[in-house]
């Protein structure tokens, strides 16, 4: 067996209503002054109010930073750090989707260590220590509550990441009740995003691709494939919402240790340049990258096809099952009401060359792809998606 390492969040709580008892779950980990990182929509909806009230009732001095936007900017992150510094925060809570959790991760790092963000970019460069950190996801998609990665937008378009076990939280609180009000289009996009995490983790060429990640990826796909349509069509179905949240977390654990690849690499410029949500960007690229990868990874795709779509067990032969798997993913996105072509999200055809050039900057991800991707290959994939 090839040597590997496996890191994940130290402690997990999975329970409906757990967010309203956040102080109880976190215990004394956050200290006496908490920076609570979230977004303005969650604040407007009042979804974060019970968690904030729980912390305040327990005696913590809570400073709420609710300015996180989709694809958060470096400036937003630094504003959160400034708020935490002014409040003398002793701990950080990230409450929301991947954007809020990513900002919380890096805020905890920069507040705890005092290091420069520019020194932390990349893989394994964060020095630490960080402040105590608790993450509470409100979508079933990013898996950020169990990943050592944080992505921030730098400048107008570039997405840049910090990857280090240092930013794994001390505690993740998974409360499926927080996801009951998610609109169908967000449920669909974040659900497909989680599926992409599992698929890319299973087939990653990274040397740390390991039995635990592969096991988690397959269970994630089983849960996600069986429940995503119910969660989209009947957002109040607590069983489906619970399965989606658990599946997303398992997929996060998988790709945290067996990293994602070209789907994400080609999706990042779509989000960075055209501000298409991350989950939708991944969904737009997924079938086309998989078709490109099929000559190298077709047998692996065939292995996970039945986990995701049990009806594909009737198809014999790896090549045929792989093709059916990719077609089924495409059909699923369409049934969920998602856009399936770049032109449908107002990306002009003449932008393809820039998308391909920018994707080549994502070397951290491209090295994990089962088939090497050059700029000419990326051009072809984007053209197929247009």
DSSP state of 124: S
| Residue showing tokens 């200290």 | 31
Helix (H, G, I), strand (E, B) or coil at 150: strand
Q: Which alpha helices (H) appear in 58-160, and where do they start and end?
A: 74-86, 98-113, 117-120
pTM (2 d.p.): 0.94
Say what the pLDDT of residue 155 is.
Answer: 83
Summarised one tens digit per residue, pLDDT across range 249-308 is 999 999 999 999 999 999 999 998 998 999 999 999 999 999 999 999 999 999 999 999
Strand (E) positions, 18-90? 33-37, 61-65
* Interacting residues of 241 by C-beta distance below 8 A, sequence separation 6+: 140, 176, 177, 179, 180, 231, 235
* Interacting residues of 326 by C-beta distance below 8 A, sequence separation 6+: 287, 290, 291, 294, 301
Question: d(Cα 281, Cα 318) in Å, to the nearest integer?
Answer: 28
Residue in 137, 120, 194 with CA at minimum distance from that of residue 171: 137
Q: What's the residue count for the chain?
A: 386
Distances (CA, A) of 249 to 107, 121, 137, 322, 331: 22, 24, 9, 25, 24
Say what the pLDDT of residue 272 is.
Answer: 87
DSSP string, 248-279: HHHHHHHHHHS---HHHHHHHHHHHHH---HH
Low-confidence ranges of the chain (pLDDT < 70): none
What's the CATH code, domain 181-385? Answer: 1.20.1090.10
Question: d(Cα 226, Cα 228) in Å, to the nearest integer?
Answer: 6
Question: d(Cα 43, Cα 67) in Å, to the nearest integer?
Answer: 10
Question: d(Cα 75, Cα 299) in Å, to the nearest integer?
Answer: 44
Tokens of 241: 């919402």
Domain positions in the chain are: 11-178, 181-385
Same fold flag, 11-178 and 181-385: no
What's the CATH code, domain 11-178? Answer: 3.40.50.1970
β-pairing verdict for 149-154 and 158-163: antiparallel
The 10 Å CB-count burial string (b at 16+, else e) for 122-151 is eeeebeeebbbbbbbbbbbbbbbbbbbbbb
Distances (CA, A) of 377 to 120, 269, 372: 31, 15, 9
């Amino acid at each position: 067996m090839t040597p590997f390492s496996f890191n994940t969040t130290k402690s997990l709580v999975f329970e409906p209503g757990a967010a309203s008892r956040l102080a109880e779950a976190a215990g004394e980990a956050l200290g006496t002054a908490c920076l609570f990182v979230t977004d303005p929509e969650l604040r407007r909806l009042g979804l974060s109010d019970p968690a904030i009230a729980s912390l305040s009732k327990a005696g913590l001095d809570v400073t709420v930073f609710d300015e996180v936007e989709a694809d958060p900017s470096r400036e937003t992150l630094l504003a959160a750090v400034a708020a935490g510094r002014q409040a003398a925060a002793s701990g950080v809570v990230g409450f929301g989707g991947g954007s809020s959790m990513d900002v919380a991760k890096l805020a905890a790092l920069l507040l705890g260590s005092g290091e420069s963000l520019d020194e932390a970019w990349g893989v394994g460069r964060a020095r630490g220590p960080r402040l105590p950190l608790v993450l509470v996801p409100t979508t079933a998609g990013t898996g950020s509550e169990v990943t050592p990665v944080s992505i921030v937008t730098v400048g107008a378009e570039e997405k840049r990441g910090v990857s280090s076990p240092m930013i794994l939280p001390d505690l993740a609180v998974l409360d499926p009740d927080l996801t009951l009000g998610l609109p169908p289009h967000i449920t669909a996009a974040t659900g497909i995003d989680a599926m992409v995490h599992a698929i890319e983790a299973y087939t990653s060429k990274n040397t740390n691709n390991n039995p635990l990640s592969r096991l988690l990826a397959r269970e994630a796909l089983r849960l996600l494939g069986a429940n995503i349509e119910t969660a989209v069509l009947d957002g109040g179905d607590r069983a489906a919402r619970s399965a989606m949240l658990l599946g997303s977390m398992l997929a996060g654990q998988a790709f945290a240790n067996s990293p994602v690849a070209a789907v994400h690499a080609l999706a990042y410029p779509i989000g960075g340049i055209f501000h298409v949500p991350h989950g939708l960007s991944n969904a737009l690229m997924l079938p086309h990258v998989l078709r490109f990868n099929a000559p190298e990874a077709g047998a692996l795709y065939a292995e996970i096809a039945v986990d995701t779509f049990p009806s594909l067990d009737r198809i014999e032969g790896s090549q045929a099952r792989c093709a059916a798997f990719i077609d089924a993913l495409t059909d699923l996105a369409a049934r969920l009401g998602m856009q399936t072509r770049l032109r449908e999200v107002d990306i002009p055809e003449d932008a393809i060359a820039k998308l391909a050039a920018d994707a080549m900057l994502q070397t951290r991800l491209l090295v994990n792809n089962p088939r090497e991707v050059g700029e000419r290959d990326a051009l072809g994939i984007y053209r197929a998606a247009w």
